[in-house]
Structures are given as C-alpha cells and as structure tokens.
Amino acid sequence: MKIVFFSYFFEPDLSAGAFRAKSLTESLSNIKNDINEIHVITTHPNRYASFKAESNDTSVESNVVIRRISVRQHASSITGQFYSFFTYFLKSYLIVRKIDPDLMICTTSRHMTGLMTAIFSLMFKKKYFIDIRDIFSETISNIYSKKSRLAGFILRHFLLFIEKLVIRRAQGVNVVSHAFKDYYNEQNLDTSSWTFYPNGIDLDFDLNINIKKNNKEKKIILYAGNIGQGQGLEKIIPKVAKSLGNKYQFRIIGDGARRIRLEKFIKDIGIENIELLDPIPRSELIDEYKKSDILFLHLNDFKAFERVLPSKLFEYAVQCKPIIGGLSGYAKDFSLKNIPHIRIFHPLDYRECIHLIMESDLIDIDLNKIQDFYRKYNRENIMNSYVNSIIDNYNYSR
C-alpha cells in the first residue's frame, strides 16, 4: 500500500502540527506489513522568520519519503498565506500524480490542506482521512466579527461550507478535542463514527521529576509557543508583569503575528521584567522549562477557543512545575480533571492571574498523578492507536 500524507508544517519546523505530523509518520512507518511506502508532502520550515532550520528537498528513511516544497515566508498576511499555499497546492499535485497512492491522509488546522486533499481525492479517485486540529470557520469569524459582524458572518458561512465538503467526502475524521464534535453536530454533521486521538507528550519531553522549590529572589514565569491573536498575550502579560514587579521575570520564547504588538506594549508601558526570545529547538526548550519556576498559558477570549485543547498543555504538564493558565470551556475542564498542578483564571482577567501567580508556591506537585497523565497521554501510544484505526477502517471499506 502506498500512502500520501499531507502536512503543511513538519519538523524541524516549530508548530503543534509539525510535531503531530512527525509522530503520525513514525507510527505509519512501523506498520510495515500493510504499508510499503509513505510519502510525506510538506514544506521547508517557514512558520517563523526568526527561526531557521536546514532541510533537504527530499529525504528517505526506511519506507518514508519526505518531500519538502519551498514556499515564500508570508509573515502571517492573508495574501502571503494564499500565495504560499497556492504554491504548495500546485507542487503537491505534480508529486501526487507521479506517486499514484492508494490512500491519502491530511492533518489540518485551517482546512486548506483538507480542501486540497479532497480535491485530489476527486481527481485521482482515492479515499482520504482527515485529522482536524482546529475549527477554522468559527475561529476566523470570531476574529473578524470584532471588526465587522457582516464580515464575520460571511466568512463563517463560506468557510463552514468548505469544511462540510471536506468532512463529508472523507473516509474517516479524527478530532483533537471532543468539543469539536459538538460544534459540527450543531452544523448537522453526523459525528458518531469520528475518532478522538488528541495531542500528547513526545518522548523529547520526558517526565521531569525534579520538583524542588526554587528559593531564588526572582521567579521566572515561562511562556513558550506562538505569539498570535489566538494567545492574546499582549492583552494580559504586560499588565500582569507591571503589577508583579521585579520579583518576577516573564520569559517569552516564540514568535508570531502579534509579537511586534506585544513588544510595543512592553515599550509603551516601560516594563523591564519581560524578556522576549526568538523560537529555539525543542532540545534547548527543555532546559528552559527546567530553569523556570512557573509555566504560563493563555488563550484569547473568543468563543472558538472554548472548544480547543492546546497541545502546549501536554508538555507543560510533565514538567512538574506550577502552571498558571488563562483558559475556558473544554481546555479548562480537561485541565482541572487531568492536571492537578494547574490553576486557571478566566482569559484576560489579569487581577486573578496575578493572585494565582503569587499563590503558586502553595501548589502541590503530585508526582503519582503526573505519572498517570504521562502514561495516558504518551504521544507514541496515541498515534499508534490512531494509525491502526485508519488502516482497519480502510481495509474494512475496500
């Protein structure tokens, strides 16, 4: 069997989708009795202009061939994203035409990769499975509704129309959050056969059992990840940092569409206890986790984010450090149920955030519960189960 796997981002790029795609590929590669060839079609690292990583156009390992397409760095602009994806679409078509796969798989957060896969399935008469990591129609409409309700309404229904086309044509659908099913049920889609294989903990982030309290004068509060509209860091961190004073140091590692705005807020308010660092490889990030005292997480106050389950939660949870998170909805419920050392405030409530940070020394680190979490959400096990479900579904439907 020949499988083509589409993922716009792939390691060494830095994104939740890239890490998930790498793990899924490794699990596919391990089922050698059923799968002879796995062709990953992705891009050269392009997520952040501030992070550069070398990668070959084509690399082969065992039964996996990774083909990387060069796309323009778009700095998150709409026109730039369209141009980059159009390049990815055209070059992917030429590759797929030569491969003639038996099955296609895609993982997508904005459904453009999903739409591309659906189009290819029609053109080449092949089945495909889709892994949904975000609800683009709801997210983008929430963002644009802040500027224009009409624009948000139009965008939501246009994108939802595309999402429904992609989902209905798929042989199988997986979601990384149970709450995604609720949304699509409301859109009259039958989700009863959908699977739920969430993100998880990669082996890179092994269980860190060093739980000694740090007694140094200045406590380090670490945020590592994307700095975009979805996180809304510029709305919360400057206020919190200024109120906490120099006994606390925010260390923010990452990049994204809102980094410049965050830098401006920091400069305008005159804050000295916030440090902004460029994205770093995961091997270096683990050391930053170890040096920190508190791990910070925040999602913006959009309705769409009440359904998501941030992948960052999984790697934070096994660091055995207090976690302070601005979360609501499904992410809040999941965290309170599964992560005993997290304290949650409502998104943008900086006063409650300050209170929780100042009380973070009182948070107990229950190693037994963290070990249970580590075993339950080991990414390798999750992806192995997911891949087996895809192969079983495919074989059953033939």
Q: Transcribe 56-94 into DSSP letters.
A: -SEEEETTEEEEEE-----TT-HHHHHHHHHHHHHHHHH
pLDDT at 73 over 80: no
3-state class (DSSP) for residue 12: coil
Confidence (pLDDT) at 185: 95
Q: What is the mean pLDDT of residues 245-272?
A: 93
Cis peptide before 12 (omega within 30 of 0): yes
User: Residue 143: which of 134, 152, 135 has the closest Cα?
Assistant: 152
Distance CA 343, CA 364 (A): 11
Name the residue type at position 163. Answer: E
Confidence (pLDDT) at 151: 79
What CATH number corresponds to the domain at position 348? 3.40.50.2000
Confidence (pLDDT) at 336: 96
Element (H, E) at 296: strand 294-298
Residues 225 and 177 in one domain: no
Residues 207 and 328 in one domain: yes
pLDDT band at 114 (very low <50, low <70, confident <90, very high): very high
Residues 225 and 346 in one domain: yes
pLDDT band at 34 (very low <50, low <70, confident <90, very high): confident
pLDDT at 75 over 60: no
Confidence (pLDDT) at 84: 87
pLDDT band at 142 (very low <50, low <70, confident <90, very high): confident
pLDDT at 313 over 70: yes
Percent of the chain surpassing pLDDT 90: 72
Residues 59 and 155 in one domain: yes
Residues 350 and 266 in one domain: yes
Residues 147 and 220 in one domain: no
Confidence (pLDDT) at 111: 82
Q: What is the pLDDT of residues 170-228, one digit of tens each?
A: 999 999 999 999 999 999 999 999 999 999 999 877 666 665 555 577 899 999 999 99
Distance CA 103, CA 258 (A): 38
- Counted residue by residue, the chain has a size of 398
Percent of the chain surpassing pLDDT 70: 95
Lowest mean pLDDT among 36-50, 211-225, 336-350: 211-225
What are the C-alpha distances in Å from 42 to residues 9, 331, 336? 6, 29, 36
Residues 23 and 138 in one domain: yes
Q: What is the DSSP letter of 172?
A: E
Residues 158 and 247 in one domain: no
pLDDT at 351 over 60: yes
Supply angle C-alpha 146, 149, 153, rounded to 5.
115
Q: What is the mean pLDDT of residues 335-362?
A: 97
Q: What is the mean pLDDT of residues 42-53?
A: 81
pLDDT at 311 over 80: yes
Report whether 111 contacts 135 (CB < 8 A).
no
Residue 111 falls in which region: left (phi positive, over 0), alpha (psi -120 to 50) or beta:
left
pLDDT at 93 over 90: yes
Confidence (pLDDT) at 207: 66
Listing DSSP states for 261-290 in one string gives HHHHHHHHHT--SEEEE----HHHHHHHHH
Residues 87 and 132 in one domain: yes
The tokens for 315 are: 């790697």
Confidence (pLDDT) at 139: 85
Q: What is the mean pLDDT of residues 294-319?
A: 94
Report whether 328 contacts 306 (CB < 8 A).
yes
The whole domain housing 196 covers: 2-200+378-397
Q: How many domains does the chain have?
A: 2
Confidence (pLDDT) at 211: 55
Residues 6 and 74 in one domain: yes
Confidence (pLDDT) at 52: 75
Residues 159 and 214 in one domain: no
Confidence (pLDDT) at 245: 93
Confidence (pLDDT) at 155: 85
3-state class (DSSP) for residue 323: strand
Residues 191 and 320 in one domain: no
pTM flag (> 0.75): yes
Query: In the chain, which residue ranges form alpha helices assigned H by DSSP?
Result: 16-30, 78-99, 112-124, 136-145, 149-169, 178-186, 237-244, 259-269, 282-291, 312-317, 329-338, 350-358, 367-376, 379-397
Report whether 250 contacts 269 (CB < 8 A).
no
Distance CA 316, CA 84 (A): 32
pLDDT at 165 over 60: yes
Distance CA 62, CA 276 (A): 40
Confidence (pLDDT) at 150: 82
pLDDT at 248 over 90: yes
Confidence (pLDDT) at 321: 94
pLDDT at 55 over 80: yes
